[in-house]
Chains A and B, each alone.
Chain A
């Protein structure tokens, strides 16, 4: 199972861009990288997923370098409502749905 490492916490201010990096040195060839967001007392919510290079959706961007040993979730112009825990998962085909400690992002006014 690919293990992931993320910063425990990050602080930001409203309107700033936030980048959260996840290390996954043992990622397998066929593994995907997926990010989830979790608000207090709620189930995690899918944000974005990618395999290589860059993926962008209406919420975030995901940057994956060529060696795929890390990935960066980018949240543009965060607001107070983006305060949450962000989890990075690596795996394929329903496997490896084990969450790490995640990154607790606090957005300040």
Chain B
């Protein structure tokens, strides 16, 4: 158990709909990262939040948005869903010790768009 919790574990929805994925980082971790992984593909970096502020943005579609709340949990909102958005979505939190970073990943949310 990495200590990072993602909900829901599975989600099936129709095209055009909107969903929200939730991530609770490990206690004390200020950074949250979101990734998308399509079938047999690599991890696509979406966005990084640190203590409520956006730090870096990857290839995140305009239909997607995220935020990190004061209690440090984060939500990834996906709207106007398309079949191609079907993927595993991972969240990670990280700890920095003397400049080095170790990330801890949740078990992911499997999104299926039908």
Contact = CB atoms under 8 A, between A and B. Distances in A.
Interface of A: 30, 32, 34, 36, 38, 41-46, 49, 51, 87, 91-95, 97-102
B27 interface: no
Interface in B31-80: 31, 33, 35, 42-43, 45, 48, 50, 55-56, 58
Please classify the interface of chain B as helix (H, G, I), strand (E, B), loop, or mixed, using the class held by over half of its residues.
Answer: strand
Contact of A92 (B43, B101, B107, B110): B101
Please classify the interface of chain A as helix (H, G, I), strand (E, B), loop, or mixed, using the class held by over half of its residues.
Answer: loop
Interface residues of B, number: 29
Given A45-B105, A94-B101, 15 more contacts: A32-B101, A38-B43, A41-B88, A44-B90, A44-B105, A46-B103, A49-B100, A94-B94, A94-B96, A95-B56, A97-B48, A97-B101, A98-B45, A99-B42, A102-B42
Contacts of B33: 97
A85 B45 CA distance: 17
A43 B48 contact: no
A97 B107 contact: no
Contact of A30 (B43, B50, B99): B99
B108 A93 contact: no
A97 B103 contact: yes
Contacts, number: 69
Contacts of B45: 97-99
B94 A43 contact: no
Interface in B76-111: 88, 90, 92, 94, 96, 99-108, 110
24 contacts: A32-B100, A34-B100, A34-B101, A38-B43, A41-B108, A43-B2, A43-B92, A43-B105, A43-B108, A44-B105, A45-B105, A51-B100, A92-B99, A92-B100, A93-B99, A93-B101, A94-B94, A95-B56, A97-B33, A97-B101, A98-B58, A99-B35, A99-B43, A102-B42
A84 to B, nearest CB: 13
